[in-house]
A and B are shown apart, each in its own frame.
Chain A
């Protein structure tokens, strides 16, 4: 027995010694290609992102943000780095670690607000990009990108207003606060512009993570005759789409194209938020030396928001109308309301 164990150990040591012998080899090969790309005028670019606990593969914001950085990376032939968080209280140290390694660190989501402030102070000489932090952090080295969700919501409002047969449409919000109200008023304005007779039912679930609640609210709206329901409620929306599958009304997705969520293809279209455009914009600004601290808002004009038709449910007529309003908004002929007060003063403009 002893002999066998000894032999086993010996074999293990040999094998281990074998690979430790060749393991460091990648290290010496790394410095060799370095001299080639040194065109002394060009600064060495490096950037990366920190994900939230959702991590890569969430088919949502993290993936989308990563896609934007990768696009910028391919164009600039830089390999972006990614640091995936496993706990919510890791955001501060992770953003710090990343900033210690690369010049530009990007993070997505309002939960990074505190982390962004700390890291921006700690690494005053590094640059940061933040998506969806609505408060202006007022830091010279933090570029904040937010989206004009109301503009995208306006377009799906136009589509909903033209699609409804009962002249009742619904809006399901996550939590009743200014960010989500933007979706609501944009949608209401869009509906009012094409179908003044239509009524918009507005309900809030009070959560972003409760599909059951979303379904419940959607079913209530359906009972009140709503036949197109737009949601801006995170994972609650899965419930809204389930309800649409069961009862046969149309749902409108949010943030990403949600056609795939529906089993019976009952997602009419989705209001999409191009987080990838956001991260790409930041990386591009950094590479072009146009990086500036402060808040940048991306709307229809910058293609930061829009609508998508993953389920092929939009008729040419609907698309045409949506495109017409899109142009009108870009040209400034239609000013989409942002707050509930704006909405009260909103006068529908008919675009021919």
Chain B
């Protein structure tokens, strides 16, 4: 019991340290962003105030922020999960789109099912479609060794065009550039139905599904044999193969699971937020943002939930900044700086340097004596 407790404290300490580095990087990024806003001739105070007000100002805004956060967490998990196996899934975007359009189909075609079953089916179809989409990339990597980065980028374009084709033909709403609306029974429950505070936000239980997905990802990776194998392949494929772990099998499986997270994100976006898919002019950006979310979240499920929240606040609050005359690009710049600082591991390097210096100094003092 005592042992368990100290173990837990140790774990928390370790995690706190892990979190502190990106946290400091984020604070520095905001300060740097402040300089930039100042350089544009605007007040950083006004900018950041409107950022917070626009994203957390009232319940509806908070709800809308969580609407943005939901897919970001899921695509972030998707990228991170693949990363644990040493794979770089740039295809989260395509898996998201395929998940969306498949969810539209399931939500529209199976009209008449009982609500709970229909919602479940819609999400499952979306997740499965994303899984298959990513699985193709994984299979190609495992079988012929073609690089997953190239293939998943290509698959993004295929997904975009397939989705647009289906939107304009098979699923098309007469005379419109979007699809049919999904059936009432396929829609996710919205907070607006029970809480007056969220009346004008599209917040739905998708956010809980995303949080559950984060727990599931954590569980699979850290508490199961399969997760151990996946991580082993990620650390050192040759050593794990020597140890009897199949590289090919784990690569395909990882990609499928990774794709399922993105596909689920797309399905939730349909079943909970949009109820239909539009003819896309370009990528939605959720998949690409997922890469940043995973990076800032240090590829850790809990970190991803937090960094998803951060990116959601930035994106939602960013539109409010525009209303106060701050160019919309500023938010992108701050995001970029955050990623730059986190990715370069700038804070850790500086801290380690300081520590090393102190150590050296002490050593010289001791030796001098």
Contact = CB atoms under 8 A, between A and B. Distances in A.
B148 interface: no
A53 B319 contact: no
A292 interface: no
Nearest to B282: A53
B298 interface: no
A209 interface: yes
A345 interface: no
A71 B324 CA distance: 20
B263 interface: no
A89 interface: yes
A179 B175 contact: yes
A81 interface: yes
Contacts of B45: 20, 23-24, 27
A321 interface: no
Contact of B354 (A2, A94, A122): A2
Given A23-B44, A86-B328, A122 B319 contact: no
| Chief secondary structure at chain A's binding surface | helix
Nearest to B176: A110
Contact of A27 (B43, B164, B353, B357): B43
Nearest to B60: A96
Contacts of A84: 322, 328
Contact of B323 (A16, A83, A89, A206): A83
B207 interface: no
B38 A19 contact: yes
A208 B177 contact: yes
A178 B279 CA distance: 19
A313 interface: no
A98 interface: yes
A87 B284 contact: yes
Contact of B278 (A1, A88, A178): A88
A139 to B, nearest CB: 16
A85 B278 CA distance: 15
Given A53-B282, A179-B175, A209-B281, A96 B200 contact: yes
B34 interface: yes
Contacts of A209: 164, 279, 281
B256 to A, nearest CB: 26
A177 B175 CA distance: 5
Interface residues of A, number: 44
A82 B319 CA distance: 10
Contacts of B306: none
Interface in B28-70: 31, 34-35, 38, 43-46, 54, 60-61, 64, 67
Interface in A88-110: 88-90, 92-94, 96-98, 101, 110
Interface string B279-296: 111101100000000000
Contact of A81 (B35, B44, B274, B323): B323
A267 B202 CA distance: 46
B141 interface: no
Contact of A97 (B43, B67, B202, B323): B323
A16 B35 CA distance: 8
A66 to B, nearest CB: 13
Interface in A25-71: 26-27, 48, 53-55
A207 interface: yes
B56 to A, nearest CB: 13
B174 interface: yes
Contacts of B284: 87-89
A14 B285 CA distance: 38
A77 interface: no
Nearest to A101: B323
A175 B285 CA distance: 27
A122 B319 CA distance: 19
Contact of A2 (B34, B316, B357): B357
Given A2-B357, A5-B350, A89-B273, 11 more contacts: A1-B353, A2-B354, A16-B34, A27-B43, A86-B285, A86-B315, A86-B328, A87-B284, A92-B202, A97-B323, A177-B175
23 contacts: A1-B357, A5-B354, A16-B35, A19-B44, A23-B43, A24-B43, A24-B45, A26-B46, A27-B45, A83-B319, A84-B322, A85-B319, A86-B285, A88-B281, A93-B67, A93-B316, A94-B319, A97-B319, A98-B323, A111-B177, A177-B175, A207-B168, A208-B177
Interface of B: 31, 34-35, 38, 43-46, 54, 60-61, 64, 67, 164, 168, 174-178, 199-202, 269, 273-274, 278-282, 284-285, 315-316, 319-320, 322-323, 328, 350, 353-354, 357-358
